Amino acid sequence: MSPTTELIAVGTELLLGKIVNTNARDLSESLSALGINVYYHTVVGDNPERLRQAVEIARNRADIIITTGGLGPTYDDMTKETLAACFGKQLVCCEDIAAKIRAYFADRLPGVQMPENNMRQAYLPEGCTVLRNDCGTAPGCAFYAEGKYVIMLPGPPRECRAMFRSGAVPYLKALSDAEILSHNIHIFGLGDSAVEEKLRGLMQRLTNPTLAPYAKTGEVMLRLTAKAESGAEAERLMTPVLQEVREVLGDVIYGIDADSLEGTVLRLLLDAKKTIATAESCTAGLLSKRLTDLPGASAVFLGGVAAYANEVKTKMLGVPETLIADHGAVSGPVARSMAEGARTRIGADFGIGITGIAGPDGGTAEKPVGTVYVALATAEATYVRNLRLGTDRTRVRMMAAHHALDMVRRYLTNLPVENI
Amino acid sequence: MSPTTELIAVGTELLLGKIVNTNARDLSESLSALGINVYYHTVVGDNPERLRQAVEIARNRADIIITTGGLGPTYDDMTKETLAACFGKQLVCCEDIAAKIRAYFADRLPGVQMPENNMRQAYLPEGCTVLRNDCGTAPGCAFYAEGKYVIMLPGPPRECRAMFRSGAVPYLKALSDAEILSHNIHIFGLGDSAVEEKLRGLMQRLTNPTLAPYAKTGEVMLRLTAKAESGAEAERLMTPVLQEVREVLGDVIYGIDADSLEGTVLRLLLDAKKTIATAESCTAGLLSKRLTDLPGASAVFLGGVAAYANEVKTKMLGVPETLIADHGAVSGPVARSMAEGARTRIGADFGIGITGIAGPDGGTAEKPVGTVYVALATAEATYVRNLRLGTDRTRVRMMAAHHALDMVRRYLTNLPVENI
């Protein structure tokens, strides 16, 4: 059983919503990689009594308490005083640190009298391990008392991260007894409840590794996590489960440990040495923006047309006016013509065409809001999906771009492109 | 004495550091604006027993408990069950919601059998106020029991924010004993420290209303908040301060209570009955995507070209090859030619041209990463900004689009367009 941890962030600015608690995220990610479970995050203001109560709660439910913030020189920095008192320790002046703080000031502000409150930073709980601050003046510390490990880190994210790495990780590694590894399984084309329906038995049966779903907007991610004495052993535990998930879900899995659908498509295009061009009506640039979010896109993305007005579809992409008149701007034939126009006019291997009704207006009984046609034109054929993507404008646009990326992925991996 | 609040976020992904708890920040900011104190944030995993313990702690130290997350259809979504049990309530099926969920599925996936676990979302604590989810299927709820107010919101940030605004704010306002009103002052073209420098005296002097800065990516927002017995009285307190801020900051204020820079530009274009077209190289559709994020964009945005490859600049926008050869694709003359090409080829009143080096590669000593030229072409003249926007790819692209929008705003409000 690995030790459990609670993170306590101290700072009224967090409770006012002025800043977001990124330290909790950063530390949790690193602790998880060390095989240390984080069970709670707590945020409390610069209030010694409320902090004391939070520490009392934490010591009853965690083996390790890591605080962030409240180590600075000002009167509202009360973390060391409060934690030391909770664990029956005195603060004592650490002469090394005091000398370092004096030197730091003399160096930066020569001739200026150092405000005396800076010396508060040199007072640390008796018997603690001092954690050096390479990015600021406030040192951190770690101690073991009354069966608990306590680690105090500074609040500024840069200082917190640096001190965690240089000071807290070596301290914690001695406590960890296992290697924990994860794989993320990325899925597009099946909703979260359908994924879970298919895998419920497996998820409930597994204890090590574990398999859990994480909903992402418009797609689904499963995380497989194994704990073992070595990384190789953890991988060995995961291999058959990964295989089983692949068998159950099939080709809706677009990647293992992928960064994003657009990243996956970008790499497939790079590998195939193919170029792409886009023609977007309702998404109006969202797809081209996503295709270029990552560096290196210029090798595969040539350009695109945001063809919002019908005249732009005609003038810039060569969509025949009669096609629009006969079928409507939101139709399979127009999506097809847009994709082919983008492909030939821009001179790419693939062309994408997207036309739809993002809403809230423009829907009809036959083509309600959320109706979207997505086409992929290749040298051999053009494929079209006819979709109903709900009524939320932002979601309709995002899902339309997702589908376009999915069509390219499926084409480049020799899977059926149109049916989903 | 205003009521105190604890926010409890439920989700193992938060404890694994996979995502950051932005809901806590967003809700804290909004609650603070409502005059409601937040004393604690807690994060707990998808574990009913640990959640139950967290709720027991919260009810002992807060008047209002707001949970986020764990309302979805999957087996690890346990928030409603756990909170209802903590407060001695049964879950009952809400027929309205059940019908809505069935309709949602029938609409999106006609003919497909809905996974039965989706119906879990229709079960809510008896006697609760149902909070509608306009962006997803999981409803939230609010109830009063055993002296505490409990509000449950969904985890996805977009759903959480929307439901907080539409459902939780009206619920909470009834608990507040004063009228609290705010105005947001939106600024582009002056950094946060410069804004603070100019207004420090005023900010420090004010007690009611208060004036506080909120950093937003690439722009600055100030929030003016007054508390009074009536809304009219609160407005009366704010009017002279708003006037003073306007006098100090001048035309970098682009709006009061604006939704966004693109929203502001969209309305200015609608009012002026002018149309716009875009030509984007390094932003590759980000600007056209933003211009169409809001409904109604089709009245002013005609279309755009994502001209990533030089040939696309030439073929689709008519940028002379010699111009690119002489000045480089990233240059003032090319941005100007792109803007004019977009304007005339697409046939709009205004054309935007953006060309730059988003990085990480492509920089030179003369034109380092972050060099961006943004041009606005009008019937009378073309304006160009030459910018250095740092080295972060995402930020360079976002700021380039911000500047393009700012140029349109300034042109349409008769302000100097080029200098910033």
Q: What is the pLDDT of residues B252-290, one digit of tens each?
A: 999 999 989 999 999 999 999 999 999 999 999 999 999
Residue B135 has what pLDDT? Answer: 85
Measured between CB atoms, which of A14, A194, A370 is closest to B41? A14
How confident is the model over B95-111, as a mean pLDDT? 83
CB pairs under 8 A between A and B: 270
pLDDT at site A211: 87
Placement of tokens 């005296």 in the chain: B201
Inter-chain residue contact A305 with B304, CB threshold 8 Å:
yes
Rounded Cα distance, A297 and B210, in Å: 46
CA B323 distance to own-chain centroid: 39
- Judged against a pLDDT cut of 70, whether residue B1 lies above it is answered with no
d(CA B216, CA A90) in angstroms, rounded, equals: 42
Q: Is B102 helix (H, G, I), strand (E, B) or coil?
A: helix
Residue A48 has pLDDT above 60, yes or no: yes
B interface mutation test: which of A305, A311, A387 has the most B CBs within 10 A? A305
Mutation target vs B (from A13, A22, A42; most B CBs, 10 A cutoff): A42
Q: Is B121 helix (H, G, I), strand (E, B) or coil?
A: helix
8 Å CB contact of B393 and A295:
yes
Whether B75 and A200 lie within 8 Å, measured CB to CB:
yes
Cα distances (angstroms) measured from residue B179 to each of A162, A411, B36, B209, B225:
45, 58, 12, 12, 10
pLDDT of residue B304: 98
| pLDDT tens string A127-142 | 999 999 988 888 999 9
Burial track B343-361 (b if 16+ CB lie within 10 A, e otherwise): bebbbbbbbbbbbbbbbee
* Of the partner residues B30, B45, B292, the one whose CB lies closest to the CB of residue A308: B292
Question: What's residue B58's pLDDT?
Answer: 96
Question: Are B43 and A24 a contacting pair, CB within 8 Å?
Answer: yes
Give me the mean pLDDT over the B47-59 stretch.
95
Chain B hits for A300, CB-CB cut-off 8 Å, are: none
What pLDDT, in 10s, does the model give residues A256-303? 999 899 999 999 999 999 999 999 999 999 999 999 999 999 999 999
B56 burial level (CB within 10 Å; 0-12, 13-18, 19+) = exposed
pLDDT at B346 over 60: yes
Is the predicted pLDDT of residue B122 greater than 80, yes or no?
yes
The alpha carbon of residue B256 is apart from the nearest alpha carbon of chain A, in Å, by 20
What mean pLDDT, rounded, does chain A reach? Answer: 92
Cross-strand bridge partners of residue A382: A377
Does position B118 have pLDDT exceeding 80, yes or no?
Answer: yes
Share of chain B above pLDDT 90, in %: 71
User: E-assigned strands of B129-231?
Assistant: 129-131, 140-145, 148-153, 179-187, 210-216, 219-228
pLDDT confidence tier of residue A175, bands split at 50, 70 and 90: low
The C-alpha angle B264, B267, B271, rounded to 5 degrees, equals 140
Which candidate in A10, A12, A18, A269 is best for mutational testing of the B interface (most B CBs within 10 A)? A18
Cα angle vertex B326, ends B324, B329, to 5°? 30
Nearest-Cα distance to chain B for A314, in Å, is 11
Mutating which of B25, B107, B300 best tests the A interface, going by the most A Cβ atoms within 10 A? B25
B159 membership: H or E segment, kind and range: helix B157-163
More confident residue, B123 or A177: B123
| A155's tokens | 């609040």
Residue predicted with more confidence, A105 or A131 = A131
- Sort residue B359 into left (φ over 0), alpha (ψ -120 to 50) or beta: left
**Inter-residue contact B278 to B291 (CB < 8 Å):** yes
A394 and B293 within 8 Å at the Cβ level: the answer is: yes
C-alpha B391 chain-centroid distance: 23
Contact B345 A316 (CB under 8 A): yes
Residue A110 confidence (pLDDT) above 80: no
Contacts with A297 from chain B: Cβ below 8 Å: 284, 308
Task: Write down the H helix ranges in B34-142.
Answer: 48-61, 79-86, 95-108
Whole-number Å distance between alpha carbons of A233 and A178 = 11
CB B160, CB A217: distance < 8 Å: no
Taking CB atoms and an 8 Å cutoff, what residues of chain A touch B73? 192-193
CB B103 within 8 A of CB B58: no
B94 or B115: which leads in pLDDT: B94
Nearest residue on chain B to A388, alpha-carbon basis:
B108
What whole-number distance in Å separates Cα of residue B389 and Cα of residue B151? 42
Four-point Cα dihedral A96, A100, A106, A109, nearest 10: -150
Answer whether A48's CB lies under 8 Å from A78's CB.
yes
Q: What is the share, in percent, of chain B residues with pLDDT greater than 70? A: 98
Starting from the edge strand earliest in sequence, which strands make up the sheet with A4-10, in order? A129-131, A140-145, A148-153, A64-68, A4-10, A37-44, B37-44, B4-10, B64-68, B148-153, B140-145, B129-131
Check B308 against A301: CB less than 8 A apart.
Answer: yes
Name the nearest CA neighbour of A122 among A130, A110, A114: A130
Identify any residues that bridge with B179 across adjacent strands, giving them in sequence order: B228
- Give the type of residue at A41: H
Of A117-131, A404-418, B210-224, the poorest mean pLDDT is in: B210-224
Provide the ipTM.
0.72
pLDDT of residue A181: 80
- A203-250 per-position pLDDT tens digit: 888 888 888 776 677 899 898 888 788 889 999 999 999 999 999 999
Min distance A338 CA to chain B CA atoms (Å): 14
Respond yes or no on whether the N-terminal peptide bond of residue B156 is cis (omega within 30° of 0). no
pTM, two decimals, is: 0.72
Q: Which two tokens stand for residue B279?
A: 């030509």
Closest by CA to A353, choosing from A279, A282, A275, is A279
Q: In the predicted model, is pLDDT for residue B177 greater than 70?
A: no
